[in-house]
Amino acid sequence: SLDPDARIPTGPGVPTWEWLQVDLSWSGPVEAQQTLRLWLISPFFARVLSFARVLLLAALCLVALRRAAPNGGGPALARFAVSTVLLLAMLISRAPIARAELPSAELLQELHERLSKPPVCTPNCASIARLAIELRDDRLRLRLEAHAAVATAIPLPAATDDAAEFVPQQILVDARSTEALRRESDGALWVALEPGVHEVLLEGRVAEGAARIEIPFPLRARAVAIDAPGWQVEGIDADGSASGALSLVRDATQGTAAMPSLRPAPAPFFALVERQLSFGVTWSVDTHVARLSAPGQAAVLEVPLLEGEAVTTEGIAVAGGKAKVAFAPDAIDLYWSSTLAPRETLVLRAPESVAWVEDWRFAVDPIWHVDAAGVPPIAQPESDPAPLRAFRPWPGESLALTAVRPLGVGGATLTIDRADLTLAPGLRSRDARLDLVLRSTQGGRHIVTLPEGAELRTARIDGIEQPLRADGRVLSVPIRPGEQRVQLEWRTNDAISWRLATPDVELGAAAVNLGVQIAVPENRWVLAVWGPRLGPAVLFWSVLFVLALVSLGLAQVRSVPLRFPHWFLLGLGLTQVPVWMSAIVVAWFFALAWRRERGARLGALGFDAAQMALALATAAALAVLFEAIRHGLLGPPDMQIAGNGSSGSDLRWYQDRSDGGLPVATLLSVPLGVYRLAMLCWALWLARALLRWLRWGWDCFAEGGRWRAPLRPGAPKPAAPT
pLDDT in tens, 279-315: 988 999 999 999 988 887 778 888 999 999 999 998 8
Please report the pLDDT score of residue 385 as a whole number: 58
Q: What is the mean pLDDT of the chain?
A: 83
- Top mean pLDDT of 235-239, 584-588, 597-601, 718-722 is at 584-588
CA angle in degrees (0–180, nearest 5) for 101-102-107: 120
Q: Is 628 exposed, middle or buried (0-12, 13-18, 19+ CB in 10 A)?
A: buried
Higher local confidence (pLDDT), 355 or 118: 355
Higher local confidence (pLDDT), 437 or 719: 437
* Dihedral-angle region of residue 721 (phi above 0 means left; psi in -120 to 50 means alpha; beta otherwise): beta
Q: How far apart are CA 368 and CA 697, in angstroms?
A: 91
The candidate with the shortest Cα–Cα distance to 159, out of 127, 205, 221, is: 205
Beta-strand ranges (E) seen in 228-305 are 231-236, 242-250, 271-279, 283-291, 299-304
Helix H, strand E, coil C: the string for 453-489 is CCEEEEEEECCEECCCCCECCEEEEEECCEEEEEEEE
Q: How far apart are CA 581 and CA 584, in angstroms?
A: 5
Q: How far apart are CA 418 and CA 423, in angstroms?
A: 17
Please report the pLDDT score of residue 651 as a whole number: 94
In whole angstroms, how far apart are CA 433 and each of 34, 422, 448? 53, 5, 13
The candidate with the shortest Cα–Cα distance to 550, out of 49, 60, 48, 52, is: 60
* 121-171 residue pLDDT tens: 777 788 888 888 888 877 888 899 999 888 888 888 876 555 566 778 888
pLDDT above 60: residue 512? yes
Q: Please confirm whether the linkage preceding 103 is cis (ω < 30° from 0).
A: yes
Q: How many beta carbons lie within 10 A of that of residue 204, not counting itself?
A: 17
Please count the CA atoms within 13 angstroms of the CA of 578 that sit on its side-chain side: 3
Mean pLDDT of 191-213: 85
Residue pair 265/244 in contact (Cβ under 8 Å)? The answer is no
* 576-620 residue pLDDT tens: 888 888 889 999 998 888 888 876 677 778 888 888 888 999 999
pLDDT above 70: residue 73? no
Please report the pLDDT score of residue 181 as a whole number: 84
pLDDT above 60: residue 395? yes
pLDDT above 80: residue 712? no
Residue pair 318/311 in contact (Cβ under 8 Å)? The answer is yes
Mean pLDDT of 554-576: 88
In whole angstroms, how far apart are CA 19 and each of 109, 222, 534, 539, 663? 37, 58, 11, 21, 20
Residue pair 664/655 in contact (Cβ under 8 Å)? The answer is no
Q: Please confirm whether the linkage preceding 123 is cis (ω < 30° from 0).
A: yes
Please report the pLDDT score of residue 1 as a whole number: 55
pLDDT above 70: residue 559? yes
Please count the CA atoms within 13 angstroms of the CA of 384 that sit on its side-chain side: 9
Reported as a pLDDT band with limits 50, 70 and 90, residue 490 is very high
Q: How far apart are CA 682 and CA 637, in angstroms?
A: 14
Beta-strand ranges (E) seen in 385-454 are 389-391, 398-404, 414-425, 430-440, 444-449
Please report the pLDDT score of residue 82 as a whole number: 43
Q: How far apart are CA 657 and CA 638, in angstroms?
A: 32
Please report the pLDDT score of residue 349 as a whole number: 92
Which of 407-422 are b and which e, b meaning 16 or more Cβ less than 10 Å from the residue's Cβ? eeeeeebbbbbbbbbb
pLDDT above 80: residue 639? yes
Reported as a pLDDT band with limits 50, 70 and 90, residue 487 is very high
Within 557-598, residue ranges assigned H as helices are 564-574, 579-598
Please report the pLDDT score of residue 344 as a whole number: 92
What pairing do the DSSP bridges indicate for beta strands 537-538 and 641-642? antiparallel
Q: Tell me the β-bridge partners of 666.
A: 501, 530
Q: How far apart are CA 205 and CA 141, in angstroms?
A: 9
Give percent above pLDDT 70 in the chain: 86
Higher local confidence (pLDDT), 711 or 583: 583
Contacts (Cβ under 8 Å, ≥6 apart) of 149: 119, 121, 125, 126, 195
**Phi/psi of residue 469, nearest 5 degrees:** -135, 140
Please report the pLDDT score of residue 99 as a whole number: 40
pLDDT above 50: residue 72? no
* 2-44 residue pLDDT tens: 566 667 777 778 888 777 788 888 888 888 888 888 888 887 8
pLDDT above 60: residue 257? no
Please report the pLDDT score of residue 43 as a whole number: 79
